[in-house]
Amino acid sequence: MATKSSNAAKKKEVKKETKLGMTVKKDDNFGEWYSEVVVHSEMIEYYDISGCYILRPQAMSIWETLQAFFDPEIKKMGIKNAYFPLFVTENVLQKEKDHIEGFAPEVAWVTKSGKSDLEVPIAIRPTSETVMYPYFAKWIRGHRDLPLKLNQWCNVVRWEFSNPTPFIRSREFLWQEGHTAFATKEEADQEVLEILELYRRVYEEYLAVPVIKGRKSELEKFAGGLYTTSVEAFIPHTGRGIQGATSHCLGQNFAKMFQINFEDDKGEKGMVWQNSWAYSSRTIGVMVMVHGDDKGLVLPPKVASVQVMVIPVPYKDADTTAIKAACESTVKELNTAAVRADLDTRENYSPGWKYSHWEMKGIPLRIEIGPRDLEKSQVRLVRRDTGAKVDVPMTELVEKVQKILLSIQENLFNTAKEKRDACIEKVHTWDEFTTALNNKKLIFAPWCDEKEVEEDVKARTKGDHGAAKTLCSPLDQPEITEGTVCIASGKPAKKWTYWGRSY
């Protein structure tokens, strides 16, 4: 006789094989739940190279939506798109030592063409500073050539070794990388914040994920730069922070290395001030982790390629032709009003099967139309976020659907923010700090802002789940009252900083 647990295992196997749906709960095993969501929602297909994933149309369309927002915004700022090569020579890659140091193990190399060894191995870009900046030096001569503001949409490769995760940590990923050069630091400083605000909007307005805008510590900043700002998200289920995007002021470090000089209007020589900034396909993973539930993916309407799925509900003796016609006209009316609606007419699946299928795929709103709805000239709307059902007269269809989609977008953000905020713990002592860390909190603590102290915190909190580190010091700083001391060193605190384990 089969035991209970082996039965359960078998059931899971069968479910997986037939792709019936979600078998793991978000609370029970977050990692497995996540893999199941991204695969069953048809965003990701696993590939036979570890850390590489296929982005299917469901994922790619979200990427395109974010791009359709971000690209015109940076163009308004005078940034232009370009495309630089995928490959970089060792010589050029090694030019900025601080930059490449520490990253070197992650660089992938091409060493052969066919069977013969290349004369010199060629690296695949892990980021494009060293690819681009020799040409910045060539193109920038006088102050009239400034500012130079370029962006590229591309893939990069970083040969990660720790625990690959779709979207979150993959060996190849998509991003935009912006690289700009200015005559003055003031201009560079201003752009860093303008870009950071766009990143906030990507997360909060599109993905409905709350983020904190802040500055990275000296230990966590991009070593090749002057300072790093970031938007930081938080995953309540794992208690981990996650860097959402970064906007760096590079200062004049790269200008020095690559001799990016210009002559100002008085004929004096100067070095440019540079920025670089990026967000990647990681954005999508953060969205999945924050909003997904036991039924699968939950898509914010603004990024859902299909916002409304219409499902005919033909009872046995119902007039299926009339129902079909009503479904078709519903889709048409919504499409005309620029609502992205689609119809599932497949006859070999039951309405109930379709409900869970489209729930798993995260479609924000479902419309059911059955014989009773036809009689009453109404349709039934079912929200993916709350499961709430409401019957709406066909005459009010467009207006009601648009209103509910807005409400879903808003509710997803508000719920995510409430959950995140409930995890924030303001602490004043080391005891409170370690307790909060064990409780998977997003820790907010006064800190002396010393590198050695952060290193010490890392060492003291090292464990199976990784050490605590600074996530960012929010730009929006609370006042530091007289006598406030650093949680780790007891020295006078210089800033309030978010701490936690992170991805």
Helix (H) / strand (E) containing 138: helix 129-139
Q: Does 276 bind ligand 87F (CB under 6 A)?
A: yes
**Of residues 65, 127, 170, 470, which one binds ligand 87F by CB under 6 A?**
127
Does residue 358 contact residue 346 with C-beta atoms inside 8 Å? no
Helix (H) / strand (E) containing 237: none
Q: Is 49 exposed, middle or buried (0-12, 13-18, 19+ CB in 10 A)?
A: exposed
Query: What is the spatial distance between Cα 36 and Cα 53, in angstroms, rounded to a whole number?
Result: 14
Kindly tell me which of 217 and 246 has the beta carbon lying closer to ligand 87F: 246
Q: Which of 291, 288, 251 lies closest to 271 in space, CA to CA?
A: 251
Tokens matching residue 83: 């495309």
Q: Does 279 bind ligand 87F (CB under 6 A)?
A: no
Q: Looking at residue 178, what DSSP letter applies? A: E
Q: Looking at residue 219, what DSSP letter applies? A: T
**Of residues 30, 103, 227, 430, which one binds ligand 87F by CB under 6 A?**
103
Shortest separation between residue 434's beta carbon and ligand 87F, angstroms:
30
**Of residues 51, 126, 166, 292, which one binds ligand 87F by CB under 6 A?**
126
Residue type, 301: P
Does residue 287 contact residue 46 with C-beta atoms inside 8 Å? no
**Of residues 158, 215, 221, 302, which one binds ligand 87F by CB under 6 A?**
158
Shortest separation between residue 257's beta carbon and ligand 87F, angstroms:
13
Coil, helix or strand for 42?
Answer: coil
Shortest separation between residue 415's beta carbon and ligand 87F, angstroms:
30
Residue type, 8: A
Binding mask 236-275 for ligand 87F (x = CB under 6 A): ----------x-x---------------------------
Q: Does 199 bind ligand 87F (CB under 6 A)?
A: no
Strand-strand pairing, 308-312 and 365-369: parallel
Kindly tell me which of 178 and 370 has the beta carbon lying closer to ligand 87F: 178
Kindly tell me which of 99 and 440 has the beta carbon lying closer to ligand 87F: 99
**Of residues 33, 182, 277, 355, which one binds ligand 87F by CB under 6 A?**
277
Q: Looking at residue 169, what DSSP letter applies? A: B
Shortest separation between residue 462's beta carbon and ligand 87F, angstroms:
23
Q: How many residues bind ligand 87F (CB under 6 A)?
A: 16
* The residue count for the chain: 503
Shortest separation between residue 467's beta carbon and ligand 87F, angstroms:
20
Kindly tell me which of 90 and 421 has the beta carbon lying closer to ligand 87F: 90
Q: Does 106 bind ligand 87F (CB under 6 A)?
A: yes
Residue type, 448: C
Write the CB contacts of 462 (distance below 8 Å, at least 6 apart in sequence).
none
Kindly tell me which of 126 and 292 has the beta carbon lying closer to ligand 87F: 126
* Dihedral in degrees, nearest 10, Cα atoms 321, 326, 332, 336: 160
Does residue 180 contact residue 197 with C-beta atoms inside 8 Å? no
Shortest separation between residue 238's beta carbon and ligand 87F, angstroms:
23
**Of residues 133, 173, 203, 222, which one binds ligand 87F by CB under 6 A?**
222
Query: What is the spatial distance between Cα 331 and Cα 340, in angstroms, rounded to a whole number?
Result: 8
Q: Which of 20, 92, 116 lies closest to 352 in space, CA to CA?
A: 20
- Cα distances (Å, whole numbers) of residue 102 to 55, 105, 192, 295, 303: 29, 7, 24, 41, 36
Kindly tell me which of 81 and 336 has the beta carbon lying closer to ligand 87F: 81
Query: What is the spatial distance between Cα 37 and Cα 348, in angstroms, rounded to a whole number?
Result: 24
**Of residues 34, 95, 150, 177, which one binds ligand 87F by CB under 6 A?**
177
Q: Which of 178, 182, 193 lies closest to 147 in space, CA to CA?
A: 182
Shortest separation between residue 247's beta carbon and ligand 87F, angstroms:
8
Kindly tell me which of 129 and 191 has the beta carbon lying closer to ligand 87F: 129
**Of residues 40, 95, 99, 282, which one binds ligand 87F by CB under 6 A?**
99
Q: Does 109 bind ligand 87F (CB under 6 A)?
A: no
Tokens matching residue 434: 């370690």
Q: Report 446-465 residues binding ligand 87F (CB under 6 A).
A: none
Q: Does 227 bind ligand 87F (CB under 6 A)?
A: no
Query: What is the spatial distance between Cα 415 and Cα 342, in angstroms, rounded to a whole number?
Result: 27
Q: Does 107 bind ligand 87F (CB under 6 A)?
A: yes
Pick the piece of the chain touching ligand 87F (CB under 6 A) from 83-91, 99-107, 146-154, 322-330.
99-107
Tokens matching residue 205: 């307005």
Q: Count CA atoms within 13 Å of residue 7 on its CB side.
A: 4
Shortest separation between residue 495's beta carbon and ligand 87F, angstroms:
22
Kindly tell me which of 281 and 307 has the beta carbon lying closer to ligand 87F: 281
Tokens matching residue 222: 């991009």
Shortest separation between residue 10's beta carbon and ligand 87F, angstroms:
44
Q: Report 21-40 residues binding ligand 87F (CB under 6 A).
A: none
Q: Report 340-359 residues binding ligand 87F (CB under 6 A).
A: none
Shortest separation between residue 130's beta carbon and ligand 87F, angstroms:
9
Shortest separation between residue 174's beta carbon and ligand 87F, angstroms:
13
Q: Which positions lie near ligand 87F, rule CB under 6 A?
A: 99-100, 103, 106-107, 126-127, 129, 158, 177, 222, 246, 248, 276-278
